Amino acid sequence: MRPLKKGTRGNAVLYITRTKALRKLQVSLKDFRRLCILKGIFPREPKKKVEGPNKTYYLRKDVAFLAHEPLLATFRASSAHAKKIRRAAAKKQHDVVAALKASRPRYTLEHIIRERYPTFEAALRDLDDALSLVALFASLPAAKPIQPTVVVTASRLLAEFTHYVARTGGLRKAFASVKGYYFQALVGGELITWCVPHRFSQQLPADVDYRVMLTFMELYTAVLHVVNYKLYASTGWAYPPVADRSATASGRLVTSFVTGPPAAAAAAPAISKDAIAAAQTRMADVVAATAATEEDDEEEEGGNNGDTGDGDAMDGTAGATPPTPATGAGAPVADGGGDEPTGMAVEAGDGAPPGERSAASETIFAGAVIVLGRETPVPELEFALLSCGAARVVAEGDIPGGDGDGDGTAAAAASAPGVVLPKQKKMQKKGGGEAAAAAAAPVGTSARDAFLATVTHWVADRPSIRGRLLRAEYVQPQWVFDSINAGLPLPPAMYAVGGKLPPHLSPFVDPSSEGGYVPRFQAMIDRIRAGDESVVAEAAAAFGVGADDGEGERLPGPVGRGGEAVVTLPGDAAGADAGGGNDAGDVDGAEEGKEDEDEEEEEEEEEDVEEDEEVIAARAAAEEADAKRLAMTMMSKKKRKAYAAATAADRKGAAVGNRLTAKRARIEAAEAAAAAPAPTTKRSKRSTRSAKA
């Protein structure tokens, strides 16, 4: 038998190093990375690295697949075109440079989208990372190397998607974390989870490769354009929707567009395939211009063409890792205009596909008119509230008839009946009377008064609020997210402004992964669903949540078994203390002695029954353990390993549950010790005299 030649079988044939792949495709490392990201190719880890452990390996069939990609020729032409631009710029031929920049090679990603997502459901399943990255770029500042076009496009695409989810009522879960706000929505039968970062100002870090992120942004922008167009077309709405510039300037998401049935949205221009292709081409031009403006260090690129693997952490694996939400500032700005009033309501369920809406999500905030304080995250709260049936959501600065300046809460309350501000009280005391107080109050228009009369909730995140509306409930932003996760509006008293909040439980945690452990607040929410009205007082005692508004008073005296107050009459206490010296007292003593004997006999019988039950339970557990051990001995080695692997997750979950239960017991013990009054010691007269001396 002829001996096998080295390098003809095994890993040597299946895998190829990055240097050989670059040489075979005849592209630079920068273009190779872009091509791998767009096509979904990522590095592999072979069991045996034939050419060394410090090299990056790819499947040979993946590289052969890239060799037939039409974009490869476009990237080669772009590299040659960039050399012409640099040569003309070195010769100071400005007219030639301008002409060459206008004639860059262009391409679209239509064939890649069809190839990677053959069905619409496949595109929806891969939308988690796309929405998270688009939300990230929408919050970043438009600074080099991120061009303003990228930020504007990301803001508009995110607003279009959230507008569709709010109109169809697809929101299922919401959670506020340190990284941002997590949302989960049901769209097209698929659950989509994405993260919107907090709107904070931030400086762009210098150790991030923005070219890689912009390449992912290029792909996800094209995917989201197609998904939004398909979603709007399925409901009969025109795409793109007409933008309301006043709403986008305020940073809102849902009410920044005017959509409706086909008759109402006839004014919006219909989008075509050419428009989508043009948008993709513009994004490609942005990525190409960003890459062209950066100076290509030939020596560094030649050194990076090796397979050290140090700079290739995002060649393909970044597509599988969720992008880390960063913080940034920048209000979404969209083109177009509209004459619709700000703070408009979204009609839930208008044109929603069948099976998209949920009865529970429709009725959480049904009929509620909610005002959002300016210190709250207005876009996220507006999206969450309108998705769950709120009749109207208005930002504090957009109250009808108000200028949005000063203390909006106090100004709004001043025009409402039944509210007197401290300034008005001060003028009344000085002798001005009602006329002076009315002059000091801001004059509200009829539209403002009519709106304030319909407000049911005011969401604020301030320590205190002066001048409140009598008919409105004042809550903190956590009330919105917890109510959505609970599936019903939780009692506002648990989320009073300025009070301590209950724990914010994550809806993405599976109780089975924690050994069936149920947090204490989750158990209270379950009792609220069952109609238990005593949970609010229990939560206040357990977590110290809410604020005492003086609406309810506790009855004095000891508390009975059912939580009822026990009222003791004065005569009963006096008779019990006196004891008496008549025959009736003797008879009562005999009856009490007989009752004590009966109680002792009953306790002995109960102890015997408990001991019998414990013995029976221990015997049953021992028999079950013996049967299980016998069954294990009858299994084969393969089945025994499979059974151990199947029960490993249960054991791990049980361990997590036991650890959480022990932690909860320690916290409760510490809280009880802190709440217990400190023991008081009596000082003797001698020590008191010495202290005075």
**Three-class secondary structure of residue 141 per DSSP:** coil
Query: pLDDT band at 218, cuts 50/70/90?
Result: very high
**Three-class secondary structure of residue 474 per DSSP:** strand
436 within some domain = no
What token pair was written down for 352?
């929603």
Sheet of strand 171-176, all strands in order from the earlier edge strand to the far edge: 171-176, 180-187, 190-197
- Does the pLDDT value for residue 687 go beyond 70? no
Give the CATH number, domain containing residue 539: 3.40.50.10190
Q: How far apart are CA 282 and CA 218, in angstroms?
A: 10
432 within some domain = no
- Does the pLDDT value for residue 21 go beyond 90? yes
Check residue 214 and give its pLDDT: 94
131 within some domain = yes
Q: How far is CA 347 from the centre of its chain?
A: 24
Model confidence pLDDT, tens digit, residues 44-103: 999 888 888 899 999 999 999 999 999 999 999 988 999 999 999 999 999 999 999 999
pTM above 0.75, yes or no: no
In this structure, the answer to whether residues 49 and 174 fall within a common structural domain is no
Q: What's the average model confidence in pLDDT over 176-185?
A: 94
Q: At what angle do helices 378-387 and 478-486 cross, to 10 degrees?
A: 30
Q: Which domain holds residue 243?
A: 110-294
Of 39 and 315, which is predicted with more confidence?
39
Of 667 and 506, which is predicted with more confidence?
506
Look at the chain and report how many structural domains it folds into.
3
Of 374 and 593, which is predicted with more confidence?
374
Of 214 and 324, which is predicted with more confidence?
214
**Three-class secondary structure of residue 401 per DSSP:** coil
- Does the pLDDT value for residue 404 go beyond 70? no
Among 94, 74, 100, 16, which residue's Cα sits nearest to residue 50? 16
Check residue 424 and give its pLDDT: 46
In this structure, the answer to whether residues 149 and 282 fall within a common structural domain is yes
State the first-to-last Cα distance of the chain, in angstroms, to the nearest integer.
113
In this structure, the answer to whether residues 245 and 171 fall within a common structural domain is yes
Buried b / exposed e over 4-23, threshold 16 CB at 10 Å, is eeeeeeeeeeebbbbebbbe
* Helices within 415-470 (DSSP H only): 422-430, 433-440, 446-452
Which of 48, 75, 103 delimits the end of a domain? 103
Query: pLDDT band at 309, cuts 50/70/90?
Result: very low
Torsion region of 557: left, alpha or beta (phi above 0 gives left; psi -120 to 50 gives alpha): left
Query: pLDDT band at 182, cuts 50/70/90?
Result: very high
376 within some domain = yes
In this structure, the answer to whether residues 19 and 80 fall within a common structural domain is yes
In this structure, the answer to whether residues 457 and 525 fall within a common structural domain is yes
Contact 497, 462 (CB under 8 A): yes
What token pair was written down for 551?
């609406």
Q: How far apart are CA 616 and CA 622, in angstroms?
A: 10
689 within some domain = no
Q: How far apart are CA 317 and CA 16, in angstroms?
A: 17
Q: What's the average model confidence in pLDDT over 231-235?
A: 92
Among 664, 686, 364, 399, which residue's Cα sits nearest to residue 519? 664
Query: pLDDT band at 635, cuts 50/70/90?
Result: confident
Q: How far apart are CA 9 and CA 438, in angstroms?
A: 93
In this structure, the answer to whether residues 197 and 276 fall within a common structural domain is yes
604 within some domain = no
In this structure, the answer to whether residues 258 and 396 fall within a common structural domain is no
- Does the pLDDT value for residue 16 go beyond 80? yes
81 within some domain = yes
What token pair was written down for 330?
């920048």
In this structure, the answer to whether residues 467 and 484 fall within a common structural domain is yes
The answer for residues whose C-beta is within 8 angstroms of residue 14's C-beta and 6 or more apart is 46, 59, 60
Q: Residues of the chain with pLDDT > 70: what percent? A: 64
What does the DSSP 8-state code read for residue 4?
P
What does the DSSP 8-state code read for residue 495?
G
DSSP bridge pairs for 248: none
CA angle 77, 69, 315 (to 5 degrees): 90
Contact 195, 411 (CB under 8 A): no
Task: Give the mean pLDDT of the chain.
Answer: 74
Q: Residues of the chain with pLDDT > 90: what percent? A: 33
- Does the pLDDT value for residue 358 go beyond 80? no
